[in-house]
Amino acid sequence: MPAASPTDGLVPGTTQRGGCASEPRPAARRSARALAGAGLMRPARAAFVWVLAGWSATALATGAAAAEGLEGRPLGEFRLTYYRLAETLRAQAEPAPGLVPVHGRDCARVLAWVTADFHSDLGLQGSGALPDGRLLNFEERCTCAVPTRRGERICYAELSRTDFPFGRGASLNRQFFWLQPYRSLAADPALVPIGTVLYVPALRGRRLPHSAEHNGCVRAEDTGRAIRGPHLDLFVGGRASGAYLPRDLPDRPVPVFTKARRCVAAFP
């Protein structure tokens, strides 16, 4: 899913990467603002540990709470898939037989020469890591770029891994989300506005790295050309972290909820 690219509230109605009719009470509005502003352009320092700590804290905070109302308001049933960070062991600055160029904005320069396999995977996933540590991220569709095997022509941005350790999602209030493994997902903004926190019971309790368990709380932080309608695409990080959840995802549409009280502590 090539990554492209309002707050916690949905309009009834949403595959690559809204507010209810009633007026929220003041406390709810404050919570919405807090949720919308959290997680934007955080540094990479202890990023993954922070993610896991958030799940553990939420589990402790909600364990003794009453079950009634924790799930929030039903949004419908959604297909659940995943995407990841594209990775390669071969990339270089100069052209060579069998390699294709990855272009920057407007094809003003070539960011790297890579294999056709990685070039196509990068177009599908939206972000990718090079062996020299650089991170490439979807910037725009451009007719000047070499097409992927799917026929897509994409120009990329080179990102700081301090600001975006796994890639850049969509923007909200002129700031970009940084993709967080198992917490960020791509959704159709016509159904799930960017910044919306969701509760997916099918994810709760599933095994994650470092002996953690998913708390079922995720947030719409990305979009994609192929993500349309009731479809959520969960970001799972790179190869190492992505080995846990994907093979165990449900193969049928799953219930999804918004405004779940159990997820407030997960996205402070």
- pLDDT at position 124: 93
CB contact at 8 A, 18 and 196: yes
CB contact at 8 A, 32 and 7: yes
Beta-carbon count within 10 A of 74 CB:
10
Q: Is the pLDDT of residue 155 over 90?
A: yes
- pLDDT at position 210: 79
- pLDDT at position 243: 61
> What is the band of 242 on the pLDDT scale with cuts at 50, 70, 90?
low
CB contact at 8 A, 60 and 141: no
Q: Is the pLDDT of residue 38 over 90?
A: no
> What is the band of 11 on the pLDDT scale with cuts at 50, 70, 90?
very low
- pLDDT at position 62: 44
| Cα 137 from Cα 127, distance rounded (Å) | 4
The lowest-confidence range among 23-32, 76-85, 114-123 is 23-32
- Between the CA of residue 234 and those of 36, 222, 224, what are the distances in Å? 19, 10, 12
- pLDDT at position 80: 94
Q: Per-residue pLDDT tens for 22-37?
A: 333 334 334 434 434 4
Q: Is the pLDDT of residue 169 over 80?
A: yes
| Cα 234 from Cα 69, distance rounded (Å) | 25
CB contact at 8 A, 188 and 229: yes
Range among 29-38, 39-48, 180-189, 257-266 with highest mean pLDDT value: 180-189
Mark out the alpha helices in the chain (DSSP H runs): 26-37, 47-63, 116-125
Q: Is the pLDDT of residue 105 over 80?
A: yes
Average pLDDT score, the chain: 79
Residue 150 neighbours by CB under 8 Å, 6+ apart: 120, 123, 124
| Cα 160 from Cα 106, distance rounded (Å) | 20
- pLDDT at position 69: 64
Q: Is the pLDDT of residue 216 over 60?
A: yes
In the chain, the domains with their CATH numbers are 35-84+167-263 (2.40.40), 86-159 (no CATH)
> What is the band of 79 on the pLDDT scale with cuts at 50, 70, 90?
very high
Beta-carbon count within 10 A of 34 CB:
14
Q: Per-residue pLDDT tens for 248-262?
A: 677 899 999 999 999
